[in-house]
Chain A
Amino acid sequence: MITLERRPEPSRMWQAMTPILAVVLTMIAGGLLFAVLGKDPFEAIRTIFWDPLFNPQFASYSRPQLLVKAAPLILIAIGLSLGFRAGIWNIGAEGQYIVGAICGAAVGLAFYPTEAIYIFPLMVLAGAIGGTLWAMIPAVLKIRFGTNEILVSLMLVYVAEQLLASMALGALRNPDGGGFPGSRNLQQYPSAANPELIAGTGAHWGVVAAFIAVIAAYVLLNKHLLGYQIKLTGQAPRAARFAGVRPNVLIALCLGISGGLAGLAGLFEVSGPAGQISIDFNSFYGFTAIIVAFLGRLHPIGILLAGLLMALTYIGGELAQFMLGIPSAAIQAFQGMLLFFLLGVDVLSNFRIRIKRKQVA
């Protein structure tokens, strides 16, 4: 009989090896899928994983795009990972992302068409505050009434989606847009735009923020008392109380930070790559970031890499679609497989596999 035995410490070797193992397994399973669809599996895998990085035709464009695509995922996932480590489950980042974008864009549009340097900073502030406040709803309810934050934050995603639709069709709709839903394009409003900072790098303020967040989270977790408290609460909640952790403060901090970062991600996205508030502005980023957080093993550097890997499969998947005619559904299924393998093989870093004879009870 095969049993799992918990390792006293997660194995460092396996922690490094499992992602590679998962990618290899995905290549095999995905290759089979593509072969069944009548596509050359080797070409497909190469197009997804190799071409965005090294194909001379695309790479100079795709490489910076990796940053653009990964930045919001990383920014949100970093915030979430702090809470997840402490056992505080904010799964409503999608909602906080939306509300941050709405608040930030609303501030920017309120100034239209004034040009001034203080507009963008105000928008950033509004985005962060919007996301934070939206996340404080589950936090306050949890602190005050002990309400489950997983469920409240999830419900608030639906509320935020309706709010987004109402804003895109109503209050924030572009008055010059011929009646179509969607706000003015912030990219075309210089004071409110979040442009590429250095041409050809893809880096906009959101990318900068994502890198800062990674570094800050790393420092916080390793050097700061709060980081220690977060880790301790996650591992031994009771011991944490004796060590002076105030759980309510921690709940508010973790949800607030994750909401604020999600709100920032929304703001940077709406003022940059997306450009406008539209009905389907949220493209599942808040949920994908949850996956990214776990793929990165809740570690800042891990999240950075996981975010880039996710972005790679998106961009490579797009190339595979139009270069090889692979349906987008197959790419979706392929991404699903990759996630399954990445999540599944992690068992090796935390557990030892033992083969035992069946015990006679």
Chain B
Amino acid sequence: MDFGSINPLILLASLMVASTPILLAAIGELVVEKSGVLNLGVEGMMIVGAVTGFIAAVNLDSPTLGFVAAAFGGALLSLLFGFLTQVLLSNQVATGLALTLFGLGIAALMGQNYVGIRAPATLDVPLGPLADIPVLGPVLFQHDAMIYVSIGIVAAVWYVLTKTRAGLILRAVGESHDAAHALGYKVVRIRLMAIAFGGACAGLGGAYLSLVRVPQWTEGMTAGAGWIALAIVVFASWKPWRALLGAYLFGGITVLQLNLQAAGFKIPVEYLSMSPYLITILVLVIMSRDRSRAALNAPAALGKPFHASI
């Protein structure tokens, strides 16, 4: 096969744009799961972020404020999940699914009067001479700010989780809430914070769709991106940098198949599209075969309810 007509560098650049929404949502969910909570409502939080971000950006004429609002919107919705699962001890899987349903509905209601409106333009970050570097320039230095923010969040999550006391506590809570509780940590409070962080990130991811990527508000515009984010967390085996890799892989497959088609190749679209999920399962299996390593990554208390019996 001749891939000559596809420029790999430009492919890489468009892949970064395509992957940013799922990366943001995935890195948020990663933190949530590290704290031992499984929130399947990512899709709902993303779409609420998409609509709140869009409404704020249009009314305040500022994409930046749009992103801030989206983070708040996503976090607020996630705290609904947090209250139900952490305080009222409802089942996380069922509550997360209900959150998706609720989020899709409420977002569509909020956005009723915003169909067919254009968002204010998000400007690229002026990186001056860097952008003119022959090869790296277009790939790395000609993007909008949110791409850099998303990578910054990944770095920050990595740093906090591995290098700080806060990260240690978060992981301890996710590993064994009873032990963490016995050590005097506020399990519920820590988890609520993690959930809110996850919601904020999902909200940012949604707003990236409605403000940069598409950019417009339409009902159901996330089209399953939240579910892909869930897969990425697993693929990444709960490691932040691997989530970046995973997001670029999952996003990249779509971009790659569309590029191959555009270049005139005949490809089995469905089988290519299912491959990242099969790879994820493979990763899971390899990880769990080596039990000592698996223990370091997968939060042991994932999805289990916690109630402090005094």
Contact = CB atoms under 8 A, between A and B. Distances in A.
Q: Is the interface of B mostly helix, strand, loop or mixed?
A: helix
B91 interface: yes
A163 interface: yes
Interface in B226-250: 227-228, 230-231, 234
B233 to A, nearest CB: 9
A350 B89 contact: yes
A290 B101 CA distance: 13
B164 interface: no
Interface residues of A, number: 51
Contacts of B109: 37, 327, 329-330, 333
B112 interface: yes
Interface in A294-327: 294-295, 327
Contacts of B93: 89, 91, 150, 290, 294
A141 B285 contact: yes
Contact of A146 (B112, B230, B280, B288): B288
B2 interface: no
Interface stretch (B12-20, B174-182, B202-210, B268-276): B268-276
Contacts of B294: 146
Given A3-B310, A146-B288, A327 B108 contact: yes
A336 B281 contact: no
B39 to A, nearest CB: 13
A344 B270 contact: no
A147 B90 contact: no
A146 B273 CA distance: 27
Interface in A152-200: 152, 154-156, 158-159, 162-163, 165-166, 169
A327 B110 CA distance: 12
A351 interface: yes
Interface string B82-124: 0010001111011101110111111111001000000000000
Contacts of B84: 340, 343-344
Nearest to B289: A145
B307 A290 contact: no
Given A151-B284, A339-B101, A344 B278 contact: no
Contacts of B288: 141, 145-148
B230 A340 contact: no
A240 interface: no
Contacts of B112: 327, 329
A51 interface: no
B309 interface: yes
A114 interface: no
Interface in B71-91: 80, 84, 88-91
A4 B310 CA distance: 10
A291 B92 CA distance: 10
Contacts of A166: 268, 270-271
Contacts of A290: 93-94, 97
Contacts of B172: none
Contacts of A163: 270, 274
A339 B80 CA distance: 12
A221 interface: no
B165 interface: no
B89 to A, nearest CB: 6
A220 interface: no
A336 B289 CA distance: 39
Interface of A: 3-4, 6, 37, 89, 91, 141, 145-148, 150-152, 154-156, 158-159, 162-163, 165-166, 169, 287-288, 290-291, 293-295, 327-337, 339-340, 343-347, 350-351
21 contacts: A3-B310, A89-B93, A89-B303, A145-B288, A146-B289, A146-B291, A147-B284, A155-B280, A155-B281, A158-B274, A166-B268, A290-B93, A291-B94, A330-B105, A332-B102, A336-B102, A336-B105, A340-B102, A343-B84, A345-B88, A347-B90
